[in-house]
Amino acid sequence: MSTITPLTSTIEPLRPLKVDRKTQVMAIINVTPDSFSGGRNICNVDETLSEIGATLKYPTVTIVDIGGQSTAPGAKSVNAGEEASRAVPLIERLHSQGAGNVTRDRFAISIDTYYASVAEKAVEAGADIINDVTAGAMDHNMLSTMARLGKTVILMHMRGDPSTMNQLTDYPNGLIPTVASELLSRIEAAENAGVRRWRMILDPGIGFAKTGEQNLEILRRFDELRNWPGLRGFPWLVGSSRKKFIGKVTGVKEPKQRIMGTSATVAAAVLGGADIVRVHDAEQMVQVAQMSDAIWRVDPNAL
């Protein structure tokens, strides 16, 4: 398979087999009032664009991930129309004018949704990437829609939905073998629907149908998962930012205060081979990724 996955026509493509590649940073922008890391005034597009512009001043922040509903454990789902009404206007503005002093060609826009209709509206508005936490399992139209739209897609490992996933953490055949097997089945389903392999990015699903110890195990054994037969050569995204297991380990209850714990998980993800890290605190995590790249990917320009 090709090891080059495009984000946009102007951003350096992902090359997961290139040992000295730089880790890319995806900035999380949740336009939802019930995000586990704090809600947002979903009507204030100008304020959100200003925030995005400040985040994009860091060159390795190459993706902005726009989400119109929370997928945290137990979160109440919203319908596709409501989700689109939150996310699509921001994508339209971001696509047409950039953010702050950062022009549109400097970053990719990702839509975080499991609804095919929202993905389609977002792409029509200017989105480059479809990020589906269910890997197309919740909406039977999603994979065919991904194929027809021809955009880069992110397929994450998950079981059930946000209301049930915490009860689906039994992996009797082993965590890594099972996650690998279940991801391979979603890759096959996507391919059968017409999605190209070189358009796929994989995500191990930290915090989704995983216990705290299982999240730690994935970070500890991430390189093994990446190199599992059939998975080697795909680019990988890891999203551990501010999650509950970090709070349990560190004793920090408030998600916004979990920056130091998140830093360790980002470093672990880079060591394991992540191509993209999905984060809330971009300024700090850019530095963590830069330092991790300098240590483990031997960046000749680090000093």
Residue 11 lies in a domain: no
Amino acid identity at 287: Q
Given a cut of 80, whether residue 107 has pLDDT beyond it is yes
Predicted confidence (pLDDT) per residue in 23-37, tens digit: 999 999 999 875 555
Task: Note whether 152 and 7 are within 8 A (CB).
Answer: yes
pLDDT at 76: 78
Mean pLDDT score across all residues of the chain? 93
Residue 16 lies inside a defined structural domain of this protein: no
- pLDDT per residue as tens digits for the range 134-163: 999 999 999 999 999 999 999 999 999 888
Q: Which two tokens stand for residue 206?
A: 């930290």
* Residue 249 forms part of a structural domain: yes
Does any domain span residue 143? Answer: yes
User: Is 2 domain-assigned?
Assistant: no
CA distance linking residue 186 with residue 212, whole number of Å: 24
What's the residue count for the chain? 303
The whole-angstrom separation of Cα 75 and Cα 162 is 6
Is residue 218 domain-resident? yes
Q: Rg of the chain's alpha carbons, rounded to an integer?
A: 18
Tell me the pLDDT band of 1, cut-offs 50, 70 and 90.
Answer: very low
Total domains in the fold of the chain: 1
**Residue 77 falls within a domain, yes or no?**
yes
What's the rounded mean pLDDT across residues 12-41? 82
Q: Which domain holds residue 289?
A: 24-296
**Is position 301 within any domain?**
no
- b/e 156-187 (16+ beta carbons within 10 angstroms → b): bbbbebbeebbeeeebeeebbeebbebbeebb
**Which CATH number does the domain housing residue 266 bear?**
3.20.20.20
Give residue 105's identity as a one-letter amino acid code: D
